[in-house]
Structure 1
Amino acid sequence: MNRPLQSAPDVDALAALRAATSARHERLDGGLPLSGPAPDLHDYATHLTMVRDWLAPLQVWLDGFGDGPQQALPAVGRLELIDADLDEPGMPPVRAPSGPHAWPRDASAAYRWGVAYVVEGSQLGGKVLYGKLSERLAPHPLRYLRGADEGPGPRWRAFMLALKQHVKSPDEIADACAGACAAFDSILRLSKLPA
Structure 2
Amino acid sequence: MAPVTRCMPPGPPPAHRRLREATRHEHAAAERTAVMQALLNGQLDDAAYGRLLLGQYALHRAWETERAAWLHGELADAGWYYASRSEALARDLADWGLSREDEPLPLACASHSQVVGGSSASWGELYVIEGSALGGQILLRLLEKRFPGHAHHFFRLGQEAGRGTWRTFQSMLDHQLSQLDQQQTAIAAARAMFGRAQRMLEAVRA
TM bucket by the smaller chain?
0.7 to 0.9
Write the letter of the residue equivalent to 1:16. R
CA shift, 1:41, in A, is: 2.4
2:103 counterpart of 1:98:
no
Q: C-alpha separation between the residues in 2 aligned to 1:105 and 1:19?
A: 19
Write the letter of the residue equivalent to 2:143. L
CA shift, 1:73, in A, is: 1.1
2:55 counterpart of 1:55:
no
What does 1:176-195 correspond to in 2, within 5 Å? 176-192=186-202
Secondary structure at the counterpart of residue 111 of structure 2: coil
Match for residue 82 of structure 2? 75
Alignment match of 2:26 (pick from 8, 19, 24): 24
Q: C-alpha separation between the residues in 1 aligned to 2:68 and 2:165?
A: 19
Aligned CA distance change for structure 1 residues 70 and 140 (closer, same or farther; 3 Å): farther
Secondary structure at the counterpart of residue 191 of structure 1: helix
Match for residue 9 of structure 2? 7
| Offset from partner CA, 1:48-102 (integer Å, 9 cap, x none) | 1221121111111111234247854113132121111112146699753414212
Alpha carbons 2:136, 2:156 under 8 Å: kept: yes
Q: C-alpha separation between the residues in 1 aligned to 2:152 and 2:77?
A: 25
Write the letter of the residue equivalent to 1:40. D
Alignment match of 2:157 (pick from 138, 143, 147): 147
- Identity percentage over the alignment? 22
CA shift, 1:120, in A, is: 0.5
Q: TM-score, normalised by structure 1?
A: 0.83
Between 163-172 and 152-161, the greater mean CA deviation after superposition: 152-161
CA shift, 1:142, in A, is: 1.3
Q: Return the structure number with greater helix share.
A: 2
Between 88-97 and 127-136, the greater mean CA deviation after superposition: 88-97
Q: C-alpha separation between the residues in 1 aligned to 2:46 and 2:112?
A: 30
Long gaps (5+) in structure 1: none
Secondary structure at the counterpart of residue 166 of structure 2: helix
Match for residue 3 of structure 2? none
Secondary structure at the counterpart of residue 135 of structure 1: helix
2:173 counterpart of 1:163:
yes
Match for residue 44 of structure 2? 39
Between 103-112 and 42-51, the greater mean CA deviation after superposition: 103-112
Between 107-116 and 174-183, the greater mean CA deviation after superposition: 107-116
Q: C-alpha separation between the residues in 1 aligned to 2:76 and 2:113?
A: 16
Q: C-alpha separation between the residues in 2 aligned to 1:189 and 1:123?
A: 18
Aligned residue pairs, count: 190
CA RMSD of aligned residues (A): 2.8
CA shift, 1:180, in A, is: 0.4
Long gaps (5+) in structure 2: 1-5
